[in-house]
Amino acid sequence: MITIPILCLFSACGSGEKLDFPPGFIWGAACSAYQTEGDNFKNDWYQWEKINSFIGTPAGKAVNSYVLYDTDAKLVKDINLNSFRFSVEWSRVEPERGVWDDAEIEHYRQVLTSITSRGIRPFLTLHHFTNPLWVMNLDHQQVPIADLGGWENPETAVEFAEYAGKLAREYGDQVDYWLTINEPIIIALSGYLYGLYPPGERVFSPGQITQKVIPVMKNLITAHALAADAIRANDLVDADGDGRATVVGLAESVVLWDPYPPDDPQAQAAARRLDQFYSKNLFDSLTAGGFDDNLDGVADDTRTEWQGRLDFIGFNYYNHWYVVNIPLLPAPIAALPCISFRGLDLSQLGVGCPAQIGEKSDMGYEIYPEGIYRILKDLSGRYTVPILITENGIATTDGEKRAQFLADHLRWVHRAVSEGMNVIGYIYWSLTDNWEWGTFTPRFGLYTVDYQNNYERQLNRGGEVMGEIAECNCLSLGILKRYPVRK
């Protein structure tokens, strides 16, 4: 590992002083099935679009990646990325409980072949928000399918593990890196508290977190643990020749929570509770086997069947939010997250949240590059398994702004690596623009999609810079000079 002087991390360094990353560092881009494939008709999100007025535009054909998957694999190769994270649509391969669609299984084998034949390592995600109708059916009158009741039912975890084992048997000769579930905390909160995702429960009663959200979180943890065991038992082939047949993790949303006011001990305690609830409980459960129900820092629910089920920690970083201590809010959190999202800014509501004055993305997220380093340092100090940045990206139509975003964040990632943190890679969200859960407006892609012209993909400046970084395995002197640290 090459150690770079700290001064060089935050300036356009002298001649030859580029910022090198370790050999074998993972450089990738990500996508998900429902957001890119199009024409996914057999899952709960397809129903959800029809019954919610806040879904501005249906996914439809998304960016037509079900047809254009070979084009997308070529795009990955064209910008020198060595990895590609994508998901299988569960409802395609298992449209009925226990019934497998051989044609769809073969389709995803062709997708994998398109990726691996180009020397790209696939990171296969098994669940990215969507459930087959037999798992969660939102409209029994129109679609008379008996369902399991979603993630409130522990049986769903068992069925998910069956699905994971099936895919491990089918694709183990092509896949070594598996991500079971994308952002379990978002599934639990958005589905069972905020009402933004299926099944759409929007109940802010005092018991909603303890009676609904936490049990769903635990079922998702169990689902990952069972799936990890199923994958390890069924994928026995070392597909990429690195000596390991299976490397199993997941991708959790991790927010950097800061107390407000910063020196208020009660706000500091509130920020710790929210951090424990939002991400640490998941990681603690799947490493040490303990879930902290009352957020007092001590595990209340210990289960050996959860322990040691993460080969790496994957996290998605988009947000830096403040936390205000408000004891009257429901236990066990008793704190207010000062979120800013798609025009929502709690600082304007007189609840004690500070105004966010920093630059924002088109999603309304504060752009805070140092946050990725602070999260890496926090996770590295708490866990011993490797860490993979499974998503980080910016919604913008400005390719230069995306390039600056990459340079800014990767300076901090490099600092983490240079300090000895076990960071194994960086996967950008996303390869192409996509359907962002109700709208096509946010543009995250390294490739810009022309929706009016056969979904043509066009490399933007951010994609060019990502390609330069991946080819060099470094932040070159040219990139450091073109995109200096902003004051």
Question: Is residue 169 included in any domain, yes or no?
Answer: yes
Residue 291 forms part of a structural domain: yes
- Report the pLDDT averaged over residues 463-483: 98
Calculate mean pLDDT across residues 331-338: 91
Neighbour-count burial for 396-434, b at 16+ CB within 10 Å, e otherwise? beebebbbbbbbbbbbbbbbbbbeebbbbbbbbbbbbbb
Burial, 354: exposed, middle or buried (Cβ in 10 Å; 0-12, 13-18, 19+)?
middle
Which residue type does 212 have? K
The pLDDT, as a whole number, for residue 16 is 56
Check: CB of residue 11 under 8 Å from CB of residue 66: no
Each residue's pLDDT tens digit, 379-398: 999 999 999 999 999 999 99
Bridge partners for 227 per DSSP: none
The answer to whether position 66 is within a domain reads yes
| Integer Cα distance of 119 and 137 in angstroms | 39
CA 50 to chain centre: 25
Three-class secondary structure of residue 26 per DSSP: strand
Confidence of residue 487 (pLDDT cuts 50, 70, 90): low
Q: What is the pLDDT of residues 439-464, one digit of tens each?
A: 999 999 999 999 999 999 999 999 99
pLDDT-derived band at 12, boundaries 50, 70, 90? very low
Mean pLDDT score of the chain, rounded to an integer?
94
Is residue 371 included in any domain, yes or no? yes
Task: Report pLDDT for 355.
Answer: 86
**Averaged pLDDT for residues 335-345:** 82
In a domain, 487, yes or no: no
Q: What is the rounded average pLDDT of the residues 292-312?
A: 97
Which CATH number fits the domain that encloses residue 474?
Answer: 3.20.20.80
Lowest mean pLDDT segment, chosen from 215-224, 294-303, 327-336: 327-336
pLDDT in tens, 399-422: 999 999 999 999 999 999 999 999
- Partnered with residue 389 across adjacent β-strands are 315, 426
- N residues, the chain: 487
What's the domain count of the chain?
A: 1
Give yes or no for residue 13 having a pLDDT over 60. Answer: no
The predicted pLDDT at position 143 comes to 95
Helices assigned H by DSSP within 276-340:
281-287
The pLDDT tens digits for 172-186 are: 999 999 999 999 999
The verdict on residue 395 lying in a domain is: yes
- Residue 17 pLDDT exceeds 80: yes
59 pLDDT higher than 80:
yes
State residue 97 phi and psi, 5-degree precision. -60, 120
Does a structural domain hold residue 96?
yes
C-beta separation of 471 from 78 below 8 A = no
Alpha-carbon distance of 127 to 87, in angstroms, equals 7
The pLDDT of residue 344: 75
CB atoms within 10 A of CB 90: 24
C-alpha–C-alpha distance, residues 448 and 458, integer Å:
5
The residue assigned the tokens 């056969």 is 454
The parent domain of residue 215 ranges over: 6-482
Three-class secondary structure of residue 180 per DSSP: strand
